[in-house]
Structure 1
Amino acid sequence: MVVALAAVLVPPAAAATARPWAGTLLDRDAVAVSPAVAAAGGQAYRLTYLSTSSRGAPRVVTGTLVVPPGPPPPGGFPVASWGHGTTGAADACAPSASPALGGYDTLVASLVDAGYAVVATDYEGLGTPGPHAYLVAESAGRGMIDAVRAGRQAQRGLSTTWVALGHSQGSQAVAATAEISGTYGRGLRLAGAVAFAAPINLAGTIAQRLRDVEGDFGAQALYPLILSGLRTEHPQLRYSDYLGPRAAEVLPLVETACLADIYGWFAARDLPASEFQPVTQQAMTRLEDWLAGQGIPRQRTAAPFTILIGDQDEIVGVDEASAVVAGMCHLGSAASLRVYPGLDHNAVVPAATGDAMTWLADRLAGRPVTTDC
C-alpha cells in the first residue's frame, strides 16, 4: 500500500494548525518476527508514514506494527504505541530494521499476548532521510501518535482507544505523547501512559552531568547524540561550542554507528571532562534553554501517567523521577511513581512489565486510578 508523498505535503507554514498529513500511511511491508513475537502469534509489518517535526514540517517516519492473531474484539484491538530507548542516531539503528525491535521484542510479545496491536515508531530521522531528532520530545511524541493512525490504516480492526509505553529515550517520548495527545491526538483516545525509567530533566541537570562526565562513557556517548538532536531544532548550534577538539572527532561516527560503538569509541580514549564543557557561560545558558521542556510536561496530561523506575537507575535517579511526578501533579495530571529496589535503568523493563500490563488494563477498564498527587 503506497500513497504518493507529493499528494499530502503542504507548506510548513500550515503545519502548526492543519497538519493534514499526520499519520498518513505511505507503505506497509510484511517483515520477519523474532521467536518471542512468533510465539505470541503476532504478524509484523514495517510501516512508512508521515508525522510532524517539532518545527511543524512533515517528516517521513518508519516503524513496526504487530497484530495479534485471531479476529478483533468488539470495538477493535486496543493499540499500544511503544517508544524505544536509545539505539543511536544512524539509520542502521532503527529498531524496525531488526526482528528484535531494538531489543524490545519480548516486551512487544507480552503486549501482543495480552491482546494489544502494537505500533513501535523509529522516531523522526531514524531509518529515514534527515537527522534523527534525538530527545526532541515533541517530535517523538508526534511520531508515537501518528504511528497509531498509520497502524489503523494498515490493518482493519484496530480501536481508536490506545495506550502509550516507553523506556529511556521513550520515556521522553511518552511524556510528550501524554501532554499533546489531547490536541495533536484528536480523534484517538489515550487511556494511559507508562514510562519505564523517568523522563530526564536535562535542562536542570546538564551542568552537573557534564562536570561528572569523566570516566562515564555512557554519558559521554549520549552527549553528542543530544547535541545532534538539538541541532535539528536549532541549526545555529555549533558543536565547537560544546565539544573539545578530541571529543568532536566522534561526530562522523554519530552519523554512521549505533550507541554501543559510540560508547566503545569514548571508552578507548578516556577523555577528560574538559572535552565536554561549553566554551562560555553563555553557551551553557543557551544549552539549558534549548533543553528546557524536552520531556518534562509543561501542561496537564491528557491521560493518567505512571513512572516505573529502579532505585539503582544510573541515568535518572528516584529523586528526579519524584520531582517529575510532583510537577505533573501541580499541573493537574493524574501521575504516580513506583520504585523497584535493586534494579537499574535497563533491568526495570522486564521486571516491571507485568505491573505495567495490570495498570494499563485498569485504565482500559475505566477503574479508578491511584495517584501520588
Structure 2
Amino acid sequence: MTFTHRLFTTGLSTLSFLALSTAFATATAVASPTTTDTAPGVPPSLAATDPTIGAPADDPFYTPPAFIPAIPGSLIRDQFAPHLLAGFAAVDRKDAPSTPARADRILYTTTAQNGSPVATSGFVMEPARPWTGEGPTPTIVFAPGTRGAGDYCAPSRAGNLFASTDMAAGSINVNYEYPFYAMASAAGYRVVVTDYIGLGTPGQHTYVNHTEEAHAVLDAARAGLAFAGAVADSPVALFGYSQGGGATAGAAELAASYAPELNLKGVFAGAPPANLQDVTDTVDGSMGGNVLGFALNGAIARNPELAGLADMYFNDEGKAFLAETADQCTFTIDTSTPDLSEIDPTDPMASMMFDSRELTTDGRSFGEIIREDADLRGVLMGPDYRLGDRPVDVPMFILGGTNDDTIPYGQTRQLAADYCASGASVTFLTDGSPAVLPGTGLGHAVHKANHTLQALDWLGDRFTGVEAASTCGG
C-alpha cells in the first residue's frame, strides 16, 4: 500500500540529506544459557512479546550465538569494516598493521528495559591521527539519529559505513552522520557508534525507548574500549542529535547506576525527544509521520498490555502503516505511481503531510489516543520514554531550536531546566534560525548542521580538562 505522505517517503529523508550535504561542505564474560529453541540466547520474556527477536539475521555476523555473555558491554564478536576515510586496503587482521582510522564492526551484550541481556551491534573507528593530548586516547560514542526501524538501516550495515541500497526491499541506508565520525577521528578521538537494540540485530527496533537506547550507548562505550584494549579509565564522551540526543540524555541519566566505572566527561544532547506527547502532536501533520510508526511498533514489542492496540484503534490503512514501518528505513524507494487525485493543486505541500486521523477507526489522531488510553500513555510518558525525571551528574550540552519543526523547542528548554534543578552543569544553546519549509524536517536538520562543530569542540574541552560553563540560573 502506498500512502500519500510517502511521496517524499518520510520528512526525515529531507532532513538527513540536508545534514549530510552541509556536513560535507563544512568539513571474559559469564555465558547465559539458551532459553528457547527458537531464540538462541534470548530470554523468554523478550521472545514472547517479540517473536522476531529469535529469527536469524540475513547477515550471520548479526545473528546472536546460542550463548551470549551476560555481562553488559561484553564483546561477542568483531569483523573488519572497510570505509571511506581509511580506504579499502587495510589488512583484515587485528594483529596486522592497519591504516589510520581502521574500523571494525562489533557485536556486544546490552540490556533490554526489563533487565534481560540482549545482543546488539555497532562499530569502532580508530583515530585518523594519534591523540596529542595528555592521558589515554579519548573516545566519543555516537548515538545515531533516526535511521528507521529495519535491520538494513543500521549504521554498521551501510556500505563502506556510508551508503548502500537494497533494491528488493526498497531500502536505502545512508549513514548521513558519517562526516561527523570522520571529523572526530581526524581530531584524534576513537569513535564508537551503536546500532541500538533491534536495529541490525534480530527483533523490533525499540525506537526512542530511552532506557534501551541508553543501555546500548553505555555498553557500546564498554565494548569499544575493550575491543581497542584501552585502559579502563579512558575518557569517554557521548554525542547525539534527535533520536541520538534522546539516547545520550538517557545515558546521562542512567550512567551513575548502570555504568559507574565509565570515565564520562561530557554529553551532547541535541534536540532530544523528551516528551513523546508533544513530539507526536508536532510530527503529526508533517512529512515525518513515519517515525510515529517506528515508535509504536517498538512500544508494542516490549509492552504486552499494548498487544491489542492495532485492532482497537487502527483501520486497515493504519494496520498497513504499522506493518510497513516495522522494518522501514528513513530513506525508501517507492516505485509505485502516486495517486495524484489525493493532491490538492491549490496546496500541494499540505497534501504531502502525514495525518494520523486517516489511519484510525474513529478519526482520532495518534496524540488524542495517547492522551485518552491509559496503557499507551503510561508507556510513552513513563520512565522508559520520558526524560528529565532523573538527575544527571555529568556536564551536559543541550541544543534546541526555536523553529524546530520536529522536536518542540519548549520541551528541550524544559529538559535543560529539569537537569539544572537536579544540580547538573548544563550548557543550553538556543538556535534562533528562521523557519525553513515547516513540516518538511528542514527546520530540525539545520540546527545540527549549524552546531555540530561547536558540540565536538565542547566535548574536546571536556577531554582537556576545561571546566564547562553552565547556563543554569543564567
Bin of the TM-score, shorter chain as denominator length: 0.7 to 0.9
Tell me the distance in 1 between the aligned counterparts of 2:83 and 2:370. 49
Per-residue deviation, 1:190: 0.8
Contact 2:279 2:407 in 1 (8 A): no
* Aligned equivalent of 2:264: 190
Contact 1:3 1:27 in 2 (8 A): no
> Which deviates more, 19-28 or 277-286?
277-286
In structure 2, the CA distance between the partners of 1:28 and 1:208, relative to structure 1 (3 Å rule), is closer
Tell me the distance in 1 between the aligned counterparts of 2:292 and 2:139. 33
Secondary structure of the corresponding residue to residue 308 of structure 1: strand
Tell me the distance in 1 between the aligned counterparts of 2:416 and 2:355. 35
Counterpart pick for 1:138 among 211, 214, 227: 211
Residue-by-residue CA offset, 1:318-359 (whole Å, 9 max, x unaligned): 222111111111222222311223272122223212211221
Which amino acid in 1 is paired with 2:316?
A: P
> Which deviates more, 326-335 or 70-79?
70-79
Which amino acid in 2 is paired with 1:352?
A: H
Counterpart pick for 1:322 among 384, 390, 413: 413
Tell me the distance in 2 between the aligned counterparts of 1:280 and 1:147. 35
* Aligned equivalent of 1:94: 154
Counterpart pick for 2:357 among 273, 282, 286: 273
Per-residue deviation, 1:56: 0.5
Which amino acid in 2 is paired with 1:63?
A: G
Residue-by-residue CA offset, 1:166-220 (whole Å, 9 max, x unaligned): 01111110111001111111211111100122333114x26744xx83x4231x2
* Aligned equivalent of 1:30: 80
Identity %: 26
Contact 1:37 1:109 in 2 (8 A): no
* Aligned equivalent of 1:240: 311
Secondary structure of the corresponding residue to residue 315 of structure 2: coil
Indicate whether 1:356 and 2:455 are aligned: yes
Counterpart pick for 2:299 among 213, 221, 230: 230
Matches for 1:77-156 after TM superposition, within 5 Å: 77-98=137-158, 99-100=161-162, 102-156=175-229
In structure 2, the CA distance between the partners of 1:37 and 1:91, relative to structure 1 (3 Å rule), is same
Contact 1:298 1:331 in 2 (8 A): no
Contact 1:31 1:44 in 2 (8 A): yes
In structure 2, the CA distance between the partners of 1:62 and 1:21, relative to structure 1 (3 Å rule), is same
Matches for 1:243-322 after TM superposition, within 5 Å: 243-261=314-332, 273-276=357-360, 277=365, 283-292=372-381, 293=383, 294-322=385-413
In structure 2, the CA distance between the partners of 1:308 and 1:157, relative to structure 1 (3 Å rule), is same
Which amino acid in 2 is paired with 1:172?
A: G
Which amino acid in 1 is paired with 2:151?
A: D
> Which deviates more, 20-29 or 65-74?
65-74
TM-score (norm 2): 0.69
In structure 2, the CA distance between the partners of 1:262 and 1:189, relative to structure 1 (3 Å rule), is farther
Per-residue deviation, 1:75: 3.5
Secondary structure of the corresponding residue to residue 28 of structure 1: strand
Tell me the distance in 1 between the aligned counterparts of 2:111 and 2:357. 36
Matches for 1:36-47 after TM superposition, within 5 Å: 41-47=100-106
State the number of aligned residues. Answer: 361
In structure 2, the CA distance between the partners of 1:207 and 1:26, relative to structure 1 (3 Å rule), is closer
Tell me the distance in 1 between the aligned counterparts of 2:393 and 2:87. 30
Contact 2:32 2:70 in 1 (8 A): no
Residue-by-residue CA offset, 1:133-191 (whole Å, 9 max, x unaligned): 11110110110111111112211236532000101111110111001111111211111
Contact 2:310 2:319 in 1 (8 A): yes
In structure 2, the CA distance between the partners of 1:221 and 1:282, relative to structure 1 (3 Å rule), is closer
Tell me the distance in 2 between the aligned counterparts of 1:173 and 1:242. 29
Superposition RMSD on alpha carbons, in Å?
3.2
Which amino acid in 2 is paired with 1:51?
A: T
Contact 2:141 2:239 in 1 (8 A): yes
Residue-by-residue CA offset, 1:67-89 (whole Å, 9 max, x unaligned): 01455666421110100111111
* Aligned equivalent of 1:202: 276
Contact 2:371 2:377 in 1 (8 A): no
In structure 2, the CA distance between the partners of 1:161 and 1:29, relative to structure 1 (3 Å rule), is same
Tell me the distance in 1 between the aligned counterparts of 2:265 and 2:242. 21
> Which deviates more, 259-268 or 330-339?
259-268
Which amino acid in 2 is paired with 1:76?
A: P
Residue-by-residue CA offset, 1:248-303 (whole Å, 9 max, x unaligned): 21223223321233999997796562525369688533222211231513221130
Per-residue deviation, 1:247: 1.9
> Which deviates more, 343-352 or 66-75?
66-75
Counterpart pick for 2:432 among 335, 341, 356: 341
Per-residue deviation, 1:306: 1.3
Indicate whether 1:366 and 2:465 are aligned: yes
Secondary structure of the corresponding residue to residue 180 of structure 1: helix
Indicate whether 1:179 and 2:253 are aligned: yes
Contact 2:147 2:330 in 1 (8 A): yes
Contact 2:244 2:272 in 1 (8 A): no
Secondary structure of the corresponding residue to residue 236 of structure 2: strand
Which amino acid in 2 is paired with 1:121?
A: T
Q: Which has the larger radius of gyration?
A: 2
Matches for 1:207-226 after TM superposition, within 5 Å: 208-209=281-282, 213=284, 215-218=285-288, 220-226=289-295
Per-residue deviation, 1:5: 5.9
